[in-house]
Amino acid sequence: MPELPEVETVIRGLRPRLEGVRLSRVVQRRADLRLPLPENFAARLEGRRVTRLARRAKYILIHLDDRQVLLCHLGMSGRMTVSGAEAGAEREPPGPHDHVILTTERGDEIRFNDARRFGVMDLVDAERLEQHRLLAGLGPEPLGNEFSGPELARRLAGKRSPIKAALLDQRVVAGLGNIYVSESLFFAGISPRRAARSVQGDRAERLAAAIRDVLTRAIQAGGSSLRDYVQASGELGYFQHEWAVYGREGQACPGCTCGLKGPGGIRRIVQSNRATFYCGTRQR
């Protein structure tokens, strides 16, 4: 599933093509994705001008000039890609998984493609956005000013679950997923097995800083491309080439001799049905 860096990368690719631009035509090619599409979905979008694009956790928020917000979630396999209106350019005809197609007044085409149909598109009143069932109760944005070591420690206090599971809880921190939690715990030197409630003080400060750093670097690299994810331009992300531990079972981790002697190396365990990768030497 695309995580925060992938969603942020898609938004940054869509922004110059959509912000300030009117949607001249909307084609809805099925009635539902994971959830039913809103009634009169295409008609409510056609003619609307996009005022700005934003992100909340893993959700794309396309604000419109009628105070409605087009809320999008990419699900497991969703893509939002742009086909430009350059002179002489030929577009491929819509494929079987191109479920919603937005055409702008400039002639750009944005396709929402979702082979597994786990994605979501909804129209929400801007005033009620934070109360939407998919957004209500989300924790702080890890790249926002409200996120800090003390705030993270406060949200982890009293939690008996392993820190890995706690960080995947969107009520603790919004937008984190399996890959970036494993990477952040590695750089913070914290074992994924450690009880969440014990991550206080300096540990919480290290972890908050690591989360910010990992996410920032991932966005700069265009996210991580696994299976279906591509940027809005159709290009792959490259952060998978910078992973320190994720997917590297049995290898030595960066800056450590853990895999050079004995049965060491990066370990893989399963927590809450999700693969976790970590260094048993560096992470305590």
Q: Which residues form the catalytic set?
A: 2-3, 58, 274
Name the one residue in this structure whose structure tokens are 């056609």.
46
Q: Which of 108, 133, 147, 153 is nearest to 15 (CA)?
A: 108
Residue 205's contacts (CB-CB under 8 Å, 6 or more residues apart) are 149
Neighbours of 106 (CB within 10 A): 12
Task: Return the number of other C-beta atoms located less than 10 Å from residue 158's C-beta.
Answer: 8
> What are the residues facing 121 on neighbouring strands?
72
Write out the two tokens for 156. 């982890």
- Which DSSP category does 132 fall into? S
* Long-range residue pairs from 41-48, CB within 8 A, at least 24 positions apart, any chain: 41/121, 41/123, 44/68, 44/123, 45/70, 45/102, 45/123, 47/22, 47/23, 48/22, 48/23
User: What are the tokens at 22?
Assistant: 């009117």
DSSP symbol at 116: S
